[in-house]
Homo-oligomer: A and B are copies of this chain.
């Protein structure tokens, strides 16, 4: 009789345990899946440029963006961009007269400001120029590993590398210092915003600078950037490569 009680208790216990697993699980999943689907859609809309201008990430996607940036996905996505870029680069017939160019953006393309954004809400907080410039002044942004490998391989293949950044001339020294610190060497040109470029939208400023390169005789085969304003406009590269960046948008 006692053992029957024990078996009954056991059955009840097992049922309760298994039910609590089943019951907690779907609720938990529902909340997570709803946010996840929302944030995946939001990410699709910003990475394809469908959303146009946006200022900060949606509040409910903070955790999503944090997970994306600090987990495997950001790294995997960046690696696949580099892989696709290299695959294309290898199809280019290098002329041998030094006119074959590749244009890289810097922030979130060659250098990662993730250490800064990790301390500043992953794009959920309004952009603060002062604290960001202080971070830039440290010249300690690490390389995006996949981009560093790509950069080296493109040089090896014979491309002339141009770095075209929205940073300003007064940041030239710290930018060079940071690039060298992160392992980048041997670029052909580092183009920063001069006084006459101030106030121009990035897409105009960058198009103008690419046009200047073309006028100098360079053939821009590839262009890599985390912003569509790095890639679209005029004087566009033969192939453009969009790196992921769900943290901020630059027009």
A52 partner residues in chain B, CB cutoff 8 A: 84, 88, 239
Report if A49 contacts B (CB, 8 A): yes
Report if A206 contacts B (CB, 8 A): no
Per assembly, the copies of the chain total 2
Closest residue on chain B to residue A242 by CB atoms: B48
Which of A10-65 touch B at CB < 8 Å?
10, 13-14, 17-18, 21, 37-38, 40-42, 44-45, 47-52
**How many residues of A are in contact with the other chain, CB < 8 A?**
40
Q: How far is it, in angstroms, between the C-alpha of A13 and the C-alpha of B10 when the chains are bound?
A: 9
Give the segment of A1-9, A156-164, A177-185 that binds chain B: A1-9
Secondary structure class of chain A's binding surface, majority of residues: helix
Closest residue on chain B to residue A10 by CB atoms: B10
A49-B242 contact in complex given A14-B14, A73-B41, C-beta closer than 8 Å: yes
Q: How far is it, in angstroms, between the C-alpha of A18 and the C-alpha of B20 when the chains are bound?
A: 12
Q: Assess whether B3 is in contact with A14, with CB atoms less than 8 Å apart.
A: no
Q: Assess whether B50 is in contact with A47, with CB atoms less than 8 Å apart.
A: no
Report if A241 contacts B (CB, 8 A): yes
Report if A123 contacts B (CB, 8 A): no
Report if A80 contacts B (CB, 8 A): yes
Q: Assess whether B3 is in contact with A37, with CB atoms less than 8 Å apart.
A: no
Residue among B3, B18, B80 making CB contact with A42, cutoff 8 Å = B80
A44 partner residues in chain B, CB cutoff 8 A: 47, 77, 80, 244
Shortest CB-to-CB span from A107 to chain B, Å, is 18
Shortest CB-to-CB span from A17 to chain B, Å, is 6
Residue among B48, B81, B85, B88 making CB contact with A47, cutoff 8 Å = B48
Q: Give me the interface of A with B, judged by CB distance under 8 Å.
A: 2-3, 5-7, 9-10, 13-14, 17-18, 21, 37-38, 40-42, 44-45, 47-52, 72-73, 76-77, 79-81, 84-85, 88, 239-242, 244
